[in-house]
Amino acid sequence: MKHQKSGRQFGRNSNQRRAMFKTLAGSLIVSGKVTTTLAKAKELRSFIDRFIGIAKHTKNVERKVSSIRLLQRRLPVSVVSILCAEDFLKRFEGRSSGYARVIKLGQRKSDSAPMAIVEFV
């Protein structure tokens, strides 16, 4: 039974799911836009919202070290410096959540999977 459990499994175990979202989030932060399936895009949106919320705490001196350590465990190390950069976080100052948007594209030709673009607002 699936009581009180959230999130999609994507036919993968938890380590594979974590690695998949780690690379997707890293690609989104570096390039600003990622094309993927609709289900992965919807999950990635909530995944990236958590990390931008944590990165916003790096401005606070008491929470800076713990926030950066948490981000380095969950994201590629090269991406954390981009995420914590002042100019990157300046785009999201007026928002408390909803940092990414999902735009539906249509179906993929090979297997008719619904596709979407995830980009920052």
pLDDT in tens, the chain (121 residues): 889 988 899 999 999 999 999 999 999 999 999 999 999 999 999 999 999 999 988 877 888 899 999 999 999 999 999 998 889 999 998 888 999 999 999 999 999 999 999 999 9
Inter-residue contact 13 to 36 (CB < 8 Å): no
Residue among 39, 50, 37, 48 at smallest CA distance from 9: 39
- Domains plus CATH for the chain? 14-120 (3.90.1030.10)
66 C-beta neighbours (distance < 10 Å), count: 12
Burial of 76 (0-12, 13-18, 19+ CB in 10 A): middle
Report the alpha-carbon distance of residue 119 to residue 65 in Å, rounded.
Answer: 28
